[in-house]
Amino acid sequence: ATAVLILAVILYGVFSNELKYDDFEQVGNYQLITTMDDASYAVYLYSEECPACKGIKTQVLEFADNNKSNLPLYLMDTAQTSGYPEYVVGPAGESLTSTPTLMVIQDGVMTQFIVGADQITSFFDGVEVGLYTFD
Query: What is the per-residue pLDDT across 13-26, written as a single tens digit (0 to 9) for each?
Result: 555 578 999 999 99
Model confidence at 10, pLDDT cuts 50, 70, 90, reads low
Q: Measured between alpha carbons, how far is 96 from 24 in angstroms, rounded to an integer?
A: 22
Q: Measured between alpha carbons, how far is 27 from 24 in angstroms, rounded to an integer?
A: 10
- 3-state class percentages of the chain: helix first, strand second, coil last, to nearest 5: 40, 20, 40
| 101-106 vs 109-115, strand pairing mode | antiparallel
Residues 6+ apart with CB under 8 A from 8: none
Residue in 80, 81, 63 with CA at minimum distance from that of residue 72: 63
pTM (predicted TM-score): 0.85
The pLDDT of residue 46: 97
Higher pLDDT: 6 or 102? It is: 102
Quick: pLDDT tens for 109-119. Answer: 999 999 999 99
Residues 6+ apart with CB under 8 A from 83: 29, 30, 31, 32
Higher pLDDT: 14 or 4? It is: 4
Indicate the angle between helix axes 51-66 and 117-128, nearest 10 degrees: 10
Quick: pLDDT tens for 53-111. Answer: 999 999 999 999 988 777 999 999 999 999 999 889 999 999 999 999 999 999 999 99
Burial 80-99 (b: 16+ CB within 10 A, else e): ebeeeeeebebeeeeebeeb
